Amino acid sequence: MKTITVNSRKGGAGKTTVSVSLAMAARQAGLKVVLADMDPLRSSTEILRSRAEAPSMLIETNAGKLWVLQEGCRRNGCDLLVIDTPTHPESEIIHCMTHSDLVLAVTRPTFLDLAAVRETIALVQRTTTPGLVVLNQCPPKRNGEENPVVIDAIQRLRFGKLPVAKSVLRSRIAYQHAFASNCGVTEWDVNSEAAADVLWLLAEISKHLALPRPEKDAPLPRALRRRPQGVSAVRTMQAALKRLVAG
Ligand SMILES: Nc1ncnc2c1ncn2[C@@H]1O[C@H](COP(=O)(O)OP(=O)(O)OP(=O)(O)O)[C@@H](O)[C@H]1O
Ligand SMILES: [Mg+2]
């Protein structure tokens, strides 16, 4: 089982958005995923708690219980544990980072966010866990050209000591629709641009972590089994994920 800690020391950068989106995409693609909500604000819980599967995929907990949680997940054959963290306290964030296989440092491509992500990067570097900076809420490309704000952010991040994920998440309204429907963006509309962003990121992370390939006939989430278009959406995503991981 692999554990990912998602953090930013700055509020609103997108920790919950990244955690929920990745966890639900991986789950939809057939992996057994648990999302640990360690933020006392419980935003991930707010999004997912009404789901029938919530008891088996969503845990409201804190860093002090991480070891027990990881043992429980391992015993239950979990493939991936995603931890949505708060902005503080530092000691709890460090604890999660230390006991993870990968840390995602989420940041918006703005001057102040990029200044703040240095703190997250510094924390990662106090551990031996690899980290990846994830740019979130990036402006969309214009006529296929990358936005100068994103280019500038990547330049600035070059001087940090963590690699930057090639897949960036753009500002997309689909996240609001998905969360209001208690689901991840890939479940809401697998053909949306937001879903494509998340799938690229998941594929990149899958390579880093050597996550198991999704099974061909993985059981579908119950909510999707009821909707024929949902079934084909999951199959499309499984195929996309396999291609990306293989490539
Ligand atoms: N890529 C995106 N596109 C559109 N909206 C986004 C995106 N990422 C985040 N948001 C929105 O920005 C707000 C903050 O995001 P989110 O709650 O994920 O951040 P956070 O880092 O978890 O915040 P907190 O520090 O409060 O836990 C939310 O309303 C969320 O829906
Ligand atoms: Mg949050």
What residues pair up with 82 in beta bridges, in sequence order? Answer: 4, 35
Distance 232 CA to ligand 2 centre (A): 31
Q: Which of 27-36, 175-184, 189-198 has the highest mean pLDDT?
A: 175-184
- CB-based contact 12:39 (threshold 8 Å): no
Distance 37 CA to ligand 2 centre (A): 9
Supply the pLDDT for residue 223. Answer: 46
Question: Is the C-beta atom of 197 inside 6 A of ligand 1?
Answer: no
Which CATH number describes the domain made up of 2-214? Answer: 3.40.50.300
3-state SS class at 76: coil
- What is the mean pLDDT of the segment spanning 11-33? 95
Question: Is the C-beta atom of 198 inside 6 A of ligand 1?
Answer: no
CA angle 21, 45, 11 (to 5 degrees): 70
Beta-carbon contacts of 239 under 8 Å, excluding residues fewer than 6 positions away, are none
Tell whether the model's pLDDT for residue 21 goes beyond 70.
yes
Distance 87 CA to ligand 2 centre (A): 8
Residues 151, 154, 158, 163: is their CA dihedral positive or negative? Answer: negative
Separation CA 204–CA 221 (nearest Å)? 23
Please name the helix (run of DSSP H) or strand (run of DSSP E) that holds residue 3, with its range, or none.
strand 2-7
Pick the residue with more confidence: 190 or 127? Answer: 127
Domains of the chain by residue range? 2-214
Listed as own residue / partner, the contacts of 173-178 with beta carbons closer than 8 Å and 24 or more positions apart are: 175/17, 175/21, 178/21
Supply the pLDDT for residue 161. Answer: 84
Tokens of 87: 């902005």
- What is the mean pLDDT of the segment spanning 42-62? 97
* pLDDT tens, position by position, 97-146: 999 999 999 999 999 999 999 999 999 999 999 999 999 999 999 898 99
Average pLDDT along the chain: 90
Tokens of 179: 């969360």
pLDDT band at 192 (very low <50, low <70, confident <90, very high): confident
How many other C-beta atoms can be found within 10 angstroms of the C-beta atom of residue 107? Answer: 28
User: For residue 121, what are the CA distances in angstroms to 22, 36, 132?
Assistant: 21, 21, 9
pTM of the model: 0.92
